[in-house]
Amino acid sequence: MKAGASTVGIKRKRNKFLVMVAIVGGAALMTGACGAKEAGPAAEGQAKKEVIRWRLQSYAGPALNDFVVKNAIDEFNIAANGEMIIDVYTADQLVPQGELFRALQEGTIDAVVSDDDSMASPVDVSVFAAYFPLAARYGLDVNVLWNWYGLNEIWKEAYDEIKGVTWLSQGSWDPCNFATTKPINHLSDLKGLRMYMFPTGGQFMQQFGVVPTVLPYQDVEMAIQTGMLDGVAWSGITEDYTVGWADVTKYYLTNPVSGAWSGGWFVNTDAWAKVPPHLQQLFKLAIDKSHYFRLHWYWYGEANYRVNGGKLTLTTIPDSEWKIVEEAAYKYWDEIAKKSPRNAKVVAILKKYIDTMEKAGAPYRY
């Protein structure tokens, strides 16, 4: 009897031990799954690492954002292997576009993808971002100007003067063309058109009677449908089809205010300093991947939708009339050059670049 009782007692103690092991193991699994800063169980003798979590907001709406920002960040998150996660937000989702720079500077947001112009960046060269009139004909022009004509160095110099924000890179997006509810066949047809536009491009086109209008990105389609807007001059035809603007407009003017949009990748300086060097390099590689993807995606889309889109009728202002716009653009450049020595340096680079392209001939310029 004593031997049997002893055996039963041992079994009971063993069962209690197994139950406790199961409870502790389950609790450990739950902690690892729910802890926001938990990167997973550490190897023996190693301290557990905290996951770096960022919030990035872009200028782009939900439909477009997947192609111009989020796809590259999704790949970054995979490659970061649990060490860092970047959550991506679309235009106006966390803060209004016009307050984006300040939010980044204050650390409300960790990273931003936007042109300098529409997010109210307080540097003198912000005017050259987005669609500086007639500065580029192709997307490659932007990439070459920044990487090979000295604009990278100028942008770094400008942002080094601003506390709290670090500029990392500039790249190209789509051209700026008019998509409207009314046909544009002559320069005079621009008069009175209420257009959703970027600040600098809108300011320039006012001299031709255009009425630039600023709205939250997500409200633009409804504003066109209700007649509050006559169209958009915010993008090329790829974005028009991707986000639905081609469904509410009828005509597409092939004359571009600019052949490419210039946008940048910016980070909060303090947040960036906390990222280890290998993840900083990985983030820069993701940026370069995004630059490359957009370059061929827009080149494909701009031609494809003109030919195969089927929703917008193409119109063109005659070269003899559009030359007036080109001449006005160069005068506008000279006005901007007077605003600061750095602006004058950028304008001189733009003029040198265009002169080089024209002398090189086709396919650089026709």
275 or 27: which carries more pLDDT confidence? 275
CA distances, 77 to each of 16, 250, 330 (Å): 42, 40, 43
Q: Give first-to-last CA distance, the chain, whole Å.
A: 106
Distance, CA of 150 to CA of 143 (rounded, Å): 11
Q: Establish how many alpha carbons lie within 13 A of residue 306's alpha carbon, considering only the half-sphere containing its beta carbon.
A: 15
- Is 90 exceeded by the pLDDT of residue 49? no
pLDDT bin (cut points 50, 70, 90) of residue 24 is: very low
Cβ–Cβ < 8 Å for 116, 264: yes
Instruction: Give the pLDDT confidence of 175-195 residue by residue, as tens digits.
Output: 999 999 999 999 999 999 999
Distance, CA of 160 to CA of 166 (rounded, Å): 7
CA distances, 208 to each of 156, 203, 228, 330, 339 (Å): 34, 10, 20, 15, 23
Strand partners, 197: 233
Cβ–Cβ < 8 Å for 101, 121: yes
pLDDT bin (cut points 50, 70, 90) of residue 337 is: very high
Domains of the chain and any CATH numbers? 52-172+261-302 (3.40.190.170), 177-259+309-360 (3.40.190.170)
Q: Which of 54, 161, 69 is nearest to 104 (CA)?
A: 54
Instruction: Check residue 46 and give its pLDDT.
Output: 52
Q: Which pTM does this prediction carry?
A: 0.86
Cβ–Cβ < 8 Å for 176, 234: yes
Instruction: Tally Cβ neighbours within 10 Å of residue 292.
Output: 13
Residues 43-58 have a mean pLDDT of: 79
Secondary structure letter of residue 69 according to DSSP: I
Q: Which of 22-26, 46-50, 205-209, 336-340 is predicted least confidently? A: 22-26
Instruction: Give the pLDDT confidence of 87-114 residue by residue, as tens digits.
Output: 999 999 999 999 999 999 999 999 999 9
8 or 339: which carries more pLDDT confidence? 339
The mean predicted confidence, pLDDT, of the chain is 90
